[in-house]
A and B are shown apart, each in its own frame.
Chain A
Amino acid sequence: MTLLGRGVAGIAAAVRSKEASAREVLAESLAAIEQLEGELHCFHTVMAERAEAAAAALDEKVARGEDPGLLAGVPVALKDNMCTKGTVTTCSSRILENWVPPYDATVVTRLRAAGAVVVGKTNLDEFAMGSSTENSAFGPTRNPWDTARVPGGSSGGSAAAVAAGMVPLAYGSDTGGSIRQPASLCGVVGVKPTYGLVSRYGLVAFASSLDQIGPFTLSVADSALGLEAVAGHDPADSTSIDRPATSYAGLLEEGVEGLRVGLIEDFVSEVSPSCAEAARAAAEALGAAGAKVEEVSIPEVLHGLPAYYVIAPAEASSNLARYDGVRYGLRVGGPDVAAMNARTRGAGFGKEVRRRVMVGTYALSAGYYDAYYGQAQRVRTLVVEAFARAYERFDVLVAPMTPSEAFRLGEKTANPLDMYVSDVCAVPSNLAGHPAVSVPFALGAEGLPVGVQVLAPALGEGLMYRAAAVLEQAAPPAARGPVRPGGERRA
């Protein structure tokens, strides 16, 4: 078995016990990237030299008898919207094509402190706006299960890199499904934590009341470690939850005996037969493991998507005002500042980003603010309250993750709304700030992986992971990565 094949926990244990060196593990990761990157295009930047120096430093630390950290020697990839001091951070945008941040995101600092070795920055839809990675200014990522298909998005590079076995752990950001949807399409575990659990300091902002960073892994246990390593209060993020970080690893064996589980039927009817069947089978599997399972209707969740497509663009139009050609990024000159701003932004933003900035600006403009933005915020309250009522009766909820298996490149690019619908089951968790995970659970009618979603109330990651661990046990191993490009299983 390869070192990478041991997963996050296995690698950290091997490096800690000196059975393997961080340099050996890194060499496997860099070799896999070298071999597969041409077909998949997961990465914008591979930081080989810097990673080698970090791995060597970690090996010395182990040799000195010091604690190498929770993620000792684990190669990690980061979505290219997380700031890395001294390494270009593009957000897949022409406007930041050459931007080198002057500081590290808190997650980067924490990962390095935990002994992880950052190997590179992954592809995404520009500024995390999209569900296929096709909105990248630097070309799409391809799904390792079928390279004619998208990996999902916006964190498609991170999802595909884990699915293809290039790295055992990658991080993405989830504003409206951007971790969970690509996780589902790539057959990996993807978690959007509770809003405020992971610091957003140094995460390039898209929609600040929704954005949250989380891990991609091949297994639920590895996900729990990947979340633990980056979670916890950060004074640099004023929206960070001020309570001590917890470990989830010990909870995974607890099972679901006696837990009350609700299957959200409103989502089941929104998705393909394969995806609906997977969600039903997942609910049954939890029932077989001792949970009390019931179907539940929460009709408000279907208001989530239209509310999201007002709130997220509104926040984005405000956040992206900073790209003005003055302090960093692209500048296209003009006779005065206003012309320079408009030319820079017109040239630097891609089509989807321009579209969302326009929608958001419209929704916030005089005369429309209350009808659109104000109303969407009130509908957000309805979604939050509906979840609160559901969680009086249930400990966790189960739902389909995506409306379909991975779609073909170009299939949904003509009509923006077709793409937006990809996240119908995902966005309510962002609106409520709740945690949710996509667990690979089945192969669909097209032979591609289908994820199932477990939702939990705020700070319910422990319950979420317990249910996810049971689903993982019940799922066929063929439904999850790692796979070689084309879908053949990797050793």
Chain B
Amino acid sequence: MERISLAEVRHVAQLARLQLSDEELAVLQGELSSLLDHVEAIVALPTEGVAPTAHPLPLSNVLRPDVPGPCLEQRDALAAAPEAAEGRFLVPRILGEAP
């Protein structure tokens, strides 16, 4: 019995925006399950009252002075885009209806 079902793997691939073949989903089911087995070693550790560490430095709200400075030109920002038009990134339609 795998720790994670094929349906769950398919759902996670959707969340991750990854198009994967059925064959690869099945392989990932096994690999994710064995990795979760490995991680089980820490899932069971007692950590009640332990604060989580998200980051090694005690930082909060690092701000710079609100002074205008040079930044990337629009044409440079668009130069690597797969498609661009009229100063914007061009994408396929986003909503369901036909154009």
Contacts and interface: CB of A to CB of B under 8 A. Distances in A.
Interface of A: 99-100, 102-103, 195-196, 209, 235, 238-239, 241, 303, 306-307, 309-310, 317, 321, 324-331, 333-343, 345-347, 349, 354-355, 357-359, 361-362, 365, 371-372, 374-382, 384, 416-417, 420, 431-434, 458
B17 A338 contact: yes
Given A324-B17, A338-B17, A365-B12, A306 B41 contact: yes
The binding surface of chain B is classed by DSSP as loop
B91 interface: yes
Contacts of A349: 18
Interface range for B: 35 or more
B51 interface: yes
17 contacts: A99-B80, A195-B57, A239-B62, A336-B94, A342-B14, A342-B19, A349-B18, A354-B20, A355-B32, A361-B12, A362-B8, A362-B12, A365-B15, A375-B47, A380-B53, A381-B47, A384-B53
Which of B16, B24, B93 has the most C-beta atoms of chain A within 10 angstroms of its own C-beta? Answer: B16
Contacts of B54: 209, 377
B92 to A, nearest CB: 5
| CB-CB nearest 8 A-B residue pairs | A433-B56, A377-B52, A331-B82, A346-B19, A328-B80, A378-B47, A342-B19, A238-B62
A205 B91 CA distance: 24
Contact of A361 (B16, B47, B55, B76): B16
Interface of B: 4, 8-9, 12-20, 24, 28, 31-32, 34-35, 38-43, 45, 47, 50-57, 59, 62, 64, 72, 76-77, 79-83, 89, 91-94, 96
Which of A330, A340, A434 has the most C-beta atoms of chain B within 10 angstroms of its own C-beta? Answer: A340
B47 A354 contact: no
A135 to B, nearest CB: 14
Contacts of A380: 52-53
A384 B47 CA distance: 14
Nearest to A370: B52
Given A239-B55, A241-B57, A327-B81, A371 B43 contact: yes
Given A195-B57, A326-B81, A361 B15 contact: yes
Contacts of B42: 303, 306-307, 310, 375-376, 379
A182 to B, nearest CB: 22
Which of A235, A358, A377, A458 has the most C-beta atoms of chain B within 10 angstroms of its own C-beta? Answer: A358
A207 to B, nearest CB: 11
B81 to A, nearest CB: 6
A326 B39 contact: no
Contacts of A238: 59, 62
Given A372-B43, A379-B45, A358 B53 contact: no
Contacts of A375: 42-43, 45, 47
Contact of A337 (B41, B62, B77, B93): B93
B55 A306 contact: no
A151 to B, nearest CB: 25
A338 B17 CA distance: 7
Given A343-B19, A361-B12, A374-B52, 10 more contacts: A209-B55, A306-B42, A326-B82, A345-B18, A354-B28, A358-B32, A377-B53, A382-B45, A384-B53, A431-B53
Nearest to B52: A377
Contacts of A334: 92
A359 B93 CA distance: 30
A357 B32 CA distance: 11
B56 A195 contact: yes
A317 B17 CA distance: 10
A342 B92 contact: no
A330 B15 contact: no
A112 B44 CA distance: 49
Contacts of B91: 326, 337, 340
Contacts of B39: 306, 309-310, 372, 376
Contact of B59 (A239, A306, A340): A239
